[in-house]
């Protein structure tokens, strides 16, 4: 059974009089525990697609199922709860909470989204911080660590609730090459260890090679799939 | 929960100066209100105390209609023996009553053998009167602190005008209710300080002397003044007394007695009311200050953190939690201001009470103002301010919770 299924998925934005078709009749299936990348130039629809899969937005037409749920039927609150249960997010700009330490940032979803009890929370946070190699910096605040380190913390935060799916929209766009590879490597390692599905987008052709499955996106259309 | 508080406090500390400024504003408002309440409250209590304890008593009972015609001190409206016994029975059934004093009030002529003028007199039992209005004796400026039979306490203005001194012999002449005139010699036992309010410029004699002048065979009482153990029980004691006496009817079938609290008897009650109204408006101003300053900060806090809100919403924080986060931030800010304000306010009040402020009230000079604040006032003010802080955060918090994560994340 696929984790994500898109069936004639379309998304159009009304830009005043103009209608922008950001995604046109996409069809794809993503299996559990896969490492998938949507690749395309700026404006090709990557963010739009990841927003749909991440239940942050709704398709204009077509069907999108995530973990057997037709996500277009979810209201705002249900969508938030669904994201909290099933999906981890990694952002291009890291988006750590500046008033929280590395440790607290990783713990945030457990505390504020999942209400995980304290001992278990502590165990999870430390495990994830070890895994991304940030345990030593756990008491630092985001403005005291580098971009690569921030993104590793963000990876730990996305994984701490043990979600089925992690979405990363251009996670390496703000990182230099070496750091970018390292972050992708950590994601891959976590996928292998935890069996989490990773879907990330990028316009960087060199990073693309790291993905196991690549969907090229151009002007809102999938040109060809490679598995 | 504790951790939402931690996040709120950290967020407040992010803009230390702004937080401090807003909390200071709230604190200054709280200080102002607390000082106002304590000073005006002590002024009010002092005034009420002066009025009730120096001549009025807390509650008075008369024959129905007496107060309306009190200017003429009608002897025909006194309470006879049987009527008084009913009143006494009612009084004895109410344990809140500490003491009561019977008074015969009448008007007459006062002569120093050279000049003659009008005088209003109270005949009282000195022990009962002192128990009922404990400040009474402090009004005696010269002479013995007592009302002995055969002696009269002369109000100071009358003494001055008639040039009488302690020890002088004077004559009081009065017409009794049957119309016959009688006179009696008195020795001036003391000069009595005036107080503001009706009856504050009356002379005093022993009740038996009053009976003698008025040729009463049995005692007829004009007024019964009552003192309560606890002034705060004024209205409950009044209600009980009135209920007990309302069943007593006169021959025409109307109520036989009337019961009044000091509030109905003294014009100062209106001043006391004014103070209460001013206090209310001062509180209202505090509410406005808190509402505007906290709302301002919270609107800014939400605006500055749009991307953060987008992030936490995207990773699944429920709208209710986001509302709670901002409400708790507003709560903490208000709480912070309240704590500072209470500490400063209590400090200022302590300084004021050590400074021994005095003021004059009518002809009474140098009354000592002792501002104090009770825990209940502090609690009420604190709860109001904190509640308003939370209310002021409602709109910004709601706005934050309703943000579309995509738009919020794109915000720069
Ligand atoms: N909120 C929006 N309103 C109107 N048009 C939009 C909006 N978001 C994206 N688009 C348009 O949709 C297309 C795809 O955008 P996007 O998904 O952001 O591409 P990418 O992430 O690959 O750069 C672009 O043409 C963009 O201008
Ligand atoms: Mg994009």
Domain boundaries, chain A: 4-222
pLDDT at B363: 57
Find the largest Cα–Cα distance for chain A: 55
Sign of CA dihedral B390, B393, B394, B398: negative
Compute the radius of gyration of chain A from its Cα atoms.
17
Shortest distance between the Cα of B412 and any Cα of chain A, in A, equals 11
pLDDT at B374: 86
CB-closest option in A54, A76, A111 to B3: A111
Q: Which atom, in ligand 1's list, is nearest to the CA of A14?
A: 4
Nearest in space to A173 (alpha carbons), one of A144, A134, A207, A146 = A207
pLDDT band, residue A22 (cuts 50/70/90): very high
Atom 4 of ligand 1 has which residue's CA nearest to it?
A: A13
Find the largest Cα–Cα distance for chain B: 102
List the structure tokens of B411. 């915000």
Mean pLDDT (chain A) is: 94
Burial B368-397 (b: 16+ CB within 10 A, else e): ebebebeeebbeebbebbbebbbbbbeebb
Inter-chain touch A56–B308, beta carbons under 8 Å:
no
Shortest distance between the Cα of A126 and any Cα of chain B, in A, equals 18
Give the C-alpha distances (Å, rounded to integers) separating A196 from A46, A111, A192. Answer: 20, 21, 8
Q: Please name the residue of chain B whose CA is at the shortest distance from the CA of residue A81.
A: B316
- Helix ranges (DSSP H) in A57-213: 76-86, 102-108, 118-131, 147-159, 177-194, 205-208
Burial B206-235 (b: 16+ CB within 10 A, else e): bbebbbebbebeebbbbbbbbbbeeeebbe
pLDDT at A227: 47
How far does the centroid of ligand 1 lie from the alpha carbon of residue A43, in Å? 6
C-beta of residue B216 within 8 angstroms of C-beta of residue B75: no
Residues with CB under 5 A from ligand 2 (ion): A 47
Summarised one tens digit per residue, pLDDT across range A146-176 is: 999 999 999 999 999 999 999 999 999 999 9
pLDDT at B298: 97
- Output the CA torsion A152→A153→A155→A160 (10° steps): 140
pLDDT at B196: 73
Give the C-alpha distances (Å, rounded to integers) separating B18 from A211, B248, B286. Answer: 47, 67, 19
According to the CATH classification, is domain A4-222 in 3.40.50.300? yes
- Helix ranges (DSSP H) in B133-222: 156-162, 207-213
Q: Across residues B299-316, what is the average pLDDT? A: 96
CA B162 to the chain's CA centroid = 37
Strands A35-39 and B223-228: unpaired
pLDDT at B362: 61
Q: Please name the residue of chain A whose CA is at the shortest distance from the CA of residue B2.
A: A111
pLDDT band, residue A206 (cuts 50/70/90): confident
List the structure tokens of A22. 């950001």
B257: pLDDT strictly greater than 70: yes
Gap between the Cα atoms of A112 and A184, Å rounded = 27
This prediction's pTM: 0.83
Summarised one tens digit per residue, pLDDT across range A54-71 is: 999 999 999 999 999 999
**Residues found in chain B:** 412
pLDDT at B2: 52
pLDDT band, residue A213 (cuts 50/70/90): very high
For residue B352, what is the enclosing H or E element?
Answer: helix B319-354
Chain B CB contacts of A100 under 8 Å are 7, 10
Instruction: Write out the residues of chain B at the interface with chain A, using a CB-CB cutoff of 8 A.
Output: 3-4, 7, 10-11, 13-14, 307-308, 310-319, 321, 405-406, 409
The interface pTM score, or ipTM, of the predicted complex is: 0.94
- Determine which of A52, A56, A66, A81 to mutate to test the interface with B (most B C-beta atoms within 10 Å): A56
C-beta of residue B312 within 8 angstroms of C-beta of residue A112: yes
Q: Which atom, in ligand 1's list, is nearest to the CA of A40?
A: 22
Contacts (Cβ under 8 Å, ≥6 apart) of B326: B298, B301, B302, B393, B396, B397, B400, B401
Lowest mean pLDDT among A13-17, B77-81, B364-368: B364-368
pLDDT at B1: 44
A89 touches chain B (CB under 8 A): yes
Mean pLDDT (chain B) is: 91
Q: Across residues B370-376, what is the average pLDDT? A: 86
């Amino acid at each position: 059974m696929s984790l994500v299924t898109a069936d004639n998925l379309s998304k159009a934005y009304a830009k005043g009089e103009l209608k922008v078709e950001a995604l046109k009749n996409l069809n794809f299936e993503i299996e559990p525990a896969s490492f998938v990348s949507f690749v395309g130039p700026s404006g090709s629809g990557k963010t739009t697609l990841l927003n749909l899969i991440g239940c942050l937005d709704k398709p204009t037409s077509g069907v999108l199922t995530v973990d057997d749920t037709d996500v277009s039927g979810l209201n705002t609150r249900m969508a938030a709860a669904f994201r909290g249960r099933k999906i981890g997010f990694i952002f291009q700009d890291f988006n750590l909470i500046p008033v929280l330490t590395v440790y607290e940032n990783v713990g945030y979803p457990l505390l504020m989204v999942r209400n995980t009890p304290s001992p278990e929370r502590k165990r999870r946070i430390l495990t994830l911080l070890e895994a991304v190699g940030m345990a030593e910096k756990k008491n630092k605040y985001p403005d005291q660590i580098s971009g690569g380190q921030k993104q590793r913390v963000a990876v730990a935060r996305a994984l701490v609730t043990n979600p089925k799916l992690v979405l990363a929209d251009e996670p390496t766009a703000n990182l230099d090459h070496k750091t970018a590879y390292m972050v992708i490597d950590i994601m891959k390692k976590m996928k292998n260890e935890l069996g989490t599905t990773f879907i990330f987008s990028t316009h960087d052709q060199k990073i693309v090679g790291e993905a196991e499955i690549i969907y090229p996106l151009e002007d809102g259309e999938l040109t060809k799939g490679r598995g | 929960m504790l951790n939402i508080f931690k996040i709120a406090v950290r967020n407040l500390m992010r803009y230390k100066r702004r937080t401090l400024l807003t909390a200071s504003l709230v604190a200054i408002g709280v200080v102002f209100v607390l000082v106002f309440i304590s000073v005006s409250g002590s002024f009010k209590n002092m005034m009420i105390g002066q009025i009730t304890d120096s001549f009025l008593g807390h509650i008075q009972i008369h024959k129905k209609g007496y107060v309306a015609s009190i200017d003429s001190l009608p002897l025909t409206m006194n309470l006879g023996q049987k009527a008084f016994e009913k009143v006494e029975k009612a009084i004895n059934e109410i344990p809140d009553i500490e003491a009561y004093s019977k008074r015969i009030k009448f008007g007459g002529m006062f002569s120093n053998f050279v000049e003659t003028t009008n005088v209003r007199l109270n005949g009282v039992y000195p022990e009962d009167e002192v128990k009922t209005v404990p400040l009474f004796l402090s009004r005696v400026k010269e002479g013995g602190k007592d009302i002995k039979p055969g002696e009269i306490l002369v109000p100071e203005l009358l003494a001055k005008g008639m040039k009488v001194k302690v020890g002088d012999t004077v004559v009081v002449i009065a017409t009794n209710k049957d119309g016959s005139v009688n006179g009696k010699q008195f020795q001036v036992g003391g000069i009595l300080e005036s107080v503001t309010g009706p009856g504050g410029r009356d002379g005093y004699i022993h009740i038996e002397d009053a009976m003698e002048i008025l040729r009463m065979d049995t005692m007829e009482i004009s007024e019964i003044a009552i003192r309560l153990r606890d002034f705060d029980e004024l209205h409950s004691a009044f209600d009980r007394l009135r209920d007990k006496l309302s069943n007593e009817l006169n021959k025409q079938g109307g109520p036989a007695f009337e019961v009044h609290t000091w509030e109905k008897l003294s014009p100062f009650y209106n001043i006391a009311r004014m103070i209460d109204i001013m206090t209310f408006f001062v509180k209202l101003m505090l509410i406005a200050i808190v509402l505007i300053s906290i709302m301002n900060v919270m609107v800014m806090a939400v605006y500055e953190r749009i991307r953060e809100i987008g992030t936490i919403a995207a990773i699944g924080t429920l709208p209710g939690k986001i509302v709670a986060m901002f409400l708790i931030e507003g709560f903490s800010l208000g709480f912070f201001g309240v704590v500072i304000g209470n500490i400063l306010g209590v400090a200022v009040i302590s300084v004021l009470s050590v400074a021994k402020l005095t003021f004059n009230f009518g002809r009474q000079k140098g009354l000592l103002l002792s501002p104090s604040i009770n825990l209940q006032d502090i609690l009420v003010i604190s709860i109001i301010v904190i509640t308003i802080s939370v209310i002021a955060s409602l709109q910004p918090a709601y706005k934050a919770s309703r943000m579309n994560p995509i738009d919020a994340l794109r915000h720069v």
